[in-house]
Each structure stands twice: as structure tokens, then as C-alpha cells.
Amino acid sequence: MSADVDLDHVTIRFGDFTAVQDAHLGIKGGEFFSFLGPSGCGKTTILRAVSGFLEPTEGDVRIGGQSMRGIGPNKRPTALIFQNLALFPLMSVADNIAFGLEVRGVGKAERRKRADELLDLIALQGQGDKKVSELSGGQKQRVAIARALAVEPEVLLLDEPLSALDLKLRQHMRTELRAIQQRVGITFIYITHDQGEALTMSDRIAVMSQGVIQQVGTGADVYENSQTSFVASFVGENNPFVGRITAVDSNYAVVESTFGPLRGRNLSGLRTGDQAMLFVRPESLSYLNGGTVPENTIQSTVVNSEFEGSFFSVFLQGEGSKSIVMSMTNSGDLPAFEQGAAATVGFQADRAVVLPVGEVADE
């Protein structure tokens, strides 16, 4: 069984400090939903409000349409996986997994049977009698998931569960988590500051900054149609150009930047005279020396270039020492980017977005 989770204008304050500001969104049953944001933006706080460890100062959390106000974490149909896993070190692996069942008064034999089934699910057959300390990082991870799944929650909450693992294992666990979610079919609410994790696993993502939910959408949506300067700069790499809008036509706007007029999609209805930021992604830039000239061109010099295997990153410097990143797929016939050489680059207007001036995430 999976349940919808609704945040209904949730605001959470600690004294004078507002950790979450008017979060309002609906998560559908069976969805893999991620909260993505930098450290300290309020992700854990939201998760604790859903799991019941704290009550929203204002607004309401609803699970399966039911208000959760006044309902403690031990009474909610949620299970939480902690950032440090919080396995019980003095219990065996099987006892850890079956703890939720023990609490519910399930008999010993039945508990063991369920634990063994779950050990199968996480590919740790026959390891139920081990101590937790005898497991590897990735195995502990999976035991934590099994322990949470054992109580058959309608919603599984995961607080940066992969952050303690090394890169290889992290990537492996991404696939595994996604597979487990599809097998059990319950709602997953996943918290991370790693955009790669959020983009690869989630059905939808909420991007947060300083307690405010900036945008909710699919990975592609958040990436392609960023609605705020924070989202545009935090999710993936982006090149911002600041300037005043000089012209607006149907869905496009022209920003008068230090490189001259640049045209991009006007997603938030900005008007002539507004200060704005135009964002263009490194892979949307193309190298124009000698080729066709698109509507937006930028004159720059090459600072250096990095070979990354499947693609090339070229660091350019333009007017006013502004740095620009361009990435090109490694097609085999790339020009040599000599340091100090002049480079003309350009982009299609529909590959750029024009947004109101706002917070820019620093990498």
C-alpha cells in the first residue's frame, strides 16, 4: 500500500528562525519524490515533520488524506531511514530487521520468516545471524532499508542515506534503491544535496533553498525549465548573464549583457526594463569559428580546456573577465583550444532561459 503525502502550507520555525517557509506540495502515492537543496536548507526538517518527530508551526502534513497533527512517529504509516542509519549494534541483523515486528507483537518464528524474506530482497540471504558490525557499508545500508520495509510502511523516508558511501557504491545503490522502490511500490521521499542522485532516481524533485521550495517538477523539467535563478544555477552547471531587458516578444526576451544582446525564453513573464539573468548551459553553447552563426554570439578567449573522456570542458573568458564554461561531446574532430586563442561561441535562443535576478548557488 502506498499513500499520498500532502504538505499544506507547512511552515516550521525554531524560535525566530524559519527553517521551512510555506512548503505547499502534493506527493502522489507510489512516487519517488526527492527534496534537493544545499546543506542547511531545511530538508531534514521537512522530513522530520512528515515522520512526526516535529510538528509544523503552521500548516498541516497529510498522509493518505489524513491530517497527521498530534500523531506521533510511532503511530504514523511512515518509516524513516536515518542519515547515519541508526542500526541497533547490539542486535543481530535479523533482530534489527524484525524489530518493528517485535514491537507489533509478531511471534518469534513469524518474525524470523519475515526477516529471511527481507534478507532475500536485499540480497543478504543467510546473513541474519551476523552482528551489524560485521557488515560492510553497503550491506548496512540495505539492512536499514529492510528494517524500514519490514513494518510495511506506506511511505518510506530517506535522509541522505547514501552520503556515507564511497562513489562507486553510491552509484550502485542508486540503481538498487530505485529497483527496490519499483518492486515494493510504496511512496519514497528522498532527501539529498546531490543533484546526480535526485536526477537519476526521482519521478519528481523539489528544489529547496533557505527553507523555501523553489520549484517542483521532473528532473528534465527542473533542468530545462528552471523557474528561478537558484534552480538554474544549483541543478547542473549553468552560465549566467546579467542585464536589463531591452525587448520582449511572445515567449522570448532580449537581455542587454556585457556581450551585447542575448535572447532566451522568457518563462516568468518579465517585461522590458526589468533586471534579469539569462542562463545558458555549457552543452548548449557551440563553437562557431567558421561555422553558421546563431542568433546569440559571444566573443571570448580560451583560458584552458579539460579532457573528460566523453566530453571536453572549455573554460572561456569574456568581457570583464567573466568566465564561461562550454562543454563539447568528444566527436573526435575537435579543434585544439590553445590558451589565449580567440573563440566565438553561440547558442540557440530556445536553449536559454531568462529569469528574474535572484540568489545564485555557488558550487
Partner 1 sequence: MTGFFRRNGIVISTYLLLAVFVWVAIMIVLPQAYMLDFSFRFNLPPGKIGGPEDVYTLKNYRYLLFGRPGDEAMFNVLHLTVFLRTIIASIFVTLINFAICYPIAYYIAQVAKGGQARALILILILPFWVNEILRAFAFRILFGTSGVINAFLQTFGIIDQPIDFIRADIALYAGLSYAYILLMVFPLYNAIESLDHNQVEAARDLGSPWWRIHWRVVMPHAKPGIASGCTLVFMLTAGALAAPQILGGPSSFWFTQIIYRWFNTGGNWPQGAAYAIVLLLACLIFVLTVMRLFKVSLGEIAK
Q: State the residues that interact with Mg ion by CB under 5 A.
A: 44
Identified binder of ligand ATP from the candidate list 140, 193, 265, 351, rule CB under 6 A: 193
Q: Is 86 in the site for partner 1 (CB under 8 A)?
A: yes
By beta-carbon distance, which residue lies closest to ligand ATP?
A: 44
Alpha-carbon radius of gyration of the chain: 24
Helix (H, G, I), strand (E, B) or coil at 358: coil
Residue range at the interface with partner 1 (CB under 8 A); choices 67-75, 210-218, 252-260, 309-317: 67-75
Q: Is 140 in the site for ligand ATP (CB under 6 A)?
A: no
Q: Is 14 in the site for ligand ATP (CB under 6 A)?
A: yes
The closest of 358, 192, 363 to 279, measured between CA atoms, is 358
Q: Is 64 in the site for partner 1 (CB under 8 A)?
A: no
Q: Is 14 in the site for partner 1 (CB under 8 A)?
A: no
The closest of 349, 344, 348 to 290, measured between CA atoms, is 344
Cα separations in angstroms, 358 against 50, 212, 230, 236, 320: 29, 13, 7, 17, 21
118 or 216: CB nearest ligand ATP: 216
Q: Are 234 and 209 in contact (CB under 8 A)?
A: yes
Q: Is 190 in the site for ligand ATP (CB under 6 A)?
A: no
Minimum distance, C-beta of residue 78 to partner 1, in the bound complex (Å): 8
Q: Is 282 in the site for partner 1 (CB under 8 A)?
A: no
Cα separations in angstroms, 85 against 36, 161, 297: 19, 7, 51
Minimum distance, C-beta of residue 193 to Mg ion, in the bound complex (Å): 8
Identified binder of ligand ATP from the candidate list 1, 9, 26, 40, rule CB under 6 A: 40
DSSP string across 65-90: TEE-TT--GGGSSEEEEBTTB---TT
114 or 193: CB nearest Mg ion: 193
Residue 111: half-sphere exposure toward Cβ, Cα within 13 Å: 19
Residue 342: count of CB within 10 angstroms of its CB? 11
Name the site residues for partner 1 (rule: CB under 8 A).
51-53, 72-75, 78-80, 82-84, 86-88, 90-91, 99-100, 102-104, 147-148, 151
Binding positions for ligand ATP, rule: CB under 6 A = 14, 17, 19, 37, 39-45, 193
